[in-house]
Amino acid sequence: MFKLIPMSLYIHIPWCLKKCEYCDFNVYVKKNDIPEHEYIQHLLQDLEIDLKLIDNREIQTIFIGGGTPSLFQNKFIQKLIQGIKKRALLSNSIEISIEANPKKIETKNFIHYRESGINRLSLGIQTFNEKYLKVLGRAYNTEEAIDSLEIAQKVFNNVNIDIMYGLPSQSFNDALLDVHHAIHYNPSHISWYQLMIEPNTIFYAKKISVPKENMILKTCYQGDKLLKKSGYKKYEISSYSKPNYICKHNLNYWSFGDYIGIGCGAHGKITTKNGTIIRTVKNKNPYGFMQGNYTVSAHTVSRKDIIFEYFMNTFRLYNPISKKKFTEQTKICEKKIKKYIDIAIQEGYLIDTLKYWNTTKKGKKFLNSLLEIFLS
């Protein structure tokens, strides 16, 4: 069982030039010089501690997120990658992603990222519309977004762009125009998702309103049709890819794989040899983190929570859920969840076959209602 569960590594770099008004991530606005060297050293020390928990398992994907990782100088990103390679066992076909803002000043870094071993770039464009970029508080304009995308595609074979819909005062036509623009530039992967107003954001404090639900559903339906018609396969609720360009890192999350999380506020999930699942949470404060206080929480997940967490992730995917994998990854017998499965089938959310469970269209549409069954 132990070797069957894939392993990933997430690295959090928490600094940004400014905090966007919709953002609820653990980020800190850059006011002075970032302590890049010191932070990288602590990231690697944090990694060394967590590597002891995984018994030399092979890491198949790495994702450097934030914050804005591209604020770090190239030499420090290179030191980070080199340091990981010295300490961890990496797959020969490893996917290494980094997030970047589509600012002209950052595009010069792209070639250096590729040279350091990074092979996937994720650009947080969010919208091509100048008006909505200002509404969101983004620190770039439409021209920079397009230029960054075009440069990224010259350097990397694998480029993702993030696009949001349901923005404040956004019309149906404007939302669909963003989809058309995204398709026109033909990236290998598009993450297209609805803006959610989360607590602890400026939007929440301002009580910003978003388009009504019927407009959101109409946008979602039409945008989905456009993306599929243009050759993008939907493999997760908000993820579309060209053939062979599925994001392996995110797919591992949604498949209930394991991952180490290092850096400020990073979360991890590690399955031990005896099948126990441990969730780790790292210190959110960068200066507390750089004093060596890395892990603030490490708890064993209860059987009840394992069941809910498993389906909370796997129900997002647009492929059958293997009963065999459920047992292998959770160490829970299929019979233990039969009553939940039966209710979901009766409600029309699931289809049960000999080897798989499949969510129906209704199950995807009312995913929260489906998950509530597994909370009972």
The reply to whether 324 and 247 lie within a common domain is no
Give the residue from 252, 277, 306 where a domain finishes. Answer: 252
Whole-number Å distance between alpha carbons of 55 and 46: 16
**Per-residue confidence in pLDDT tens, the chain, 376 aa:** 455 689 999 999 999 988 888 999 999 998 789 999 999 999 999 999 999 999 889 999 999 999 999 899 999 999 999 999 999 999 999 999 999 988 876 788 999 999 999 999 999 999 999 999 999 999 899 999 999 999 999 999 999 999 999 999 999 999 999 999 999 999 999 999 999 999 989 999 999 999 999 999 999 999 999 999 999 999 999 999 999 999 999 999 999 999 999 999 999 999 998 889 999 999 999 999 999 999 999 999 999 999 999 999 999 999 999 999 999 999 999 999 999 999 999 999 999 999 999 999 999 989 999 999 998 7
What pTM, to 2 d.p., does this model score? Answer: 0.95
Report the number of distinct structural domains present in the chain.
2
The reply to whether 16 and 160 lie within a common domain is yes
Position 2 scores a pLDDT of 52
Position 31 scores a pLDDT of 78
Position 190 scores a pLDDT of 98
The reply to whether 106 and 194 lie within a common domain is yes
Position 19 scores a pLDDT of 87
Centre a 10 Å sphere on the Cβ of residue 273 and count the other Cβ atoms it contains: 10
User: Is 127 part of a structural domain of the chain?
Assistant: yes
User: Is 298 part of a structural domain of the chain?
Assistant: no
The reply to whether 333 and 238 lie within a common domain is no
Position 125 scores a pLDDT of 96
User: Is 291 part of a structural domain of the chain?
Assistant: no
The reply to whether 61 and 178 lie within a common domain is yes
Whole-number Å distance between alpha carbons of 80 and 38: 11
The reply to whether 248 and 337 lie within a common domain is no
Q: What is the DSSP letter of 103?
A: -
User: Is 56 part of a structural domain of the chain?
Assistant: yes
User: Is 300 part of a structural domain of the chain?
Assistant: no
Dmax (CA) of the chain: 59
Say which residue the tokens 């009963």 belong to.
323
Strand partners, 146: none
Whole-number Å distance between alpha carbons of 372 and 376: 7
The reply to whether 328 and 225 lie within a common domain is no
The reply to whether 336 and 231 lie within a common domain is no
Q: What is the DSSP letter of 70?
A: G
Which helix (DSSP H) or strand (DSSP E) does residue 80 occupy? helix 74-87
- What are the two backbone dihedrals, phi and then psi, of residue 193, each rounded to the nearest 5 degrees? -140, 160
Give the residue from 236, 252, 268 where a domain finishes. Answer: 252
User: Is 341 part of a structural domain of the chain?
Assistant: yes
Say which residue the tokens 């407009």 belong to.
215
3-state DSSP helix/strand/coil % of the chain, to nearest 5: 45, 25, 35
Whole-number Å distance between alpha carbons of 148 and 14: 22
Position 3 scores a pLDDT of 57
Domain at 36, CATH number: 3.20.20.70
Whole-number Å distance between alpha carbons of 77 and 323: 40
User: Is 275 part of a structural domain of the chain?
Assistant: no
Position 1 scores a pLDDT of 46
Q: What is the DSSP string of 341-362?
A: HHHHHHTTSEEE-SSEEEE-HH
The reply to whether 215 and 338 lie within a common domain is no
The reply to whether 239 and 326 lie within a common domain is no
| Per-residue buried b or exposed e for 122-144, using 16+ beta carbons within 10 Å of the residue's own CB | bbbbbbbbeebbebbebebebeb
User: Is 210 part of a structural domain of the chain?
Assistant: yes
Whole-number Å distance between alpha carbons of 330 and 357: 16
The reply to whether 58 and 200 lie within a common domain is yes
Give the residue numbers spanning the domain of 118: 2-252
Give the residue from 204, 224, 252 where a domain finishes. Answer: 252
Whole-number Å distance between alpha carbons of 38 and 47: 14
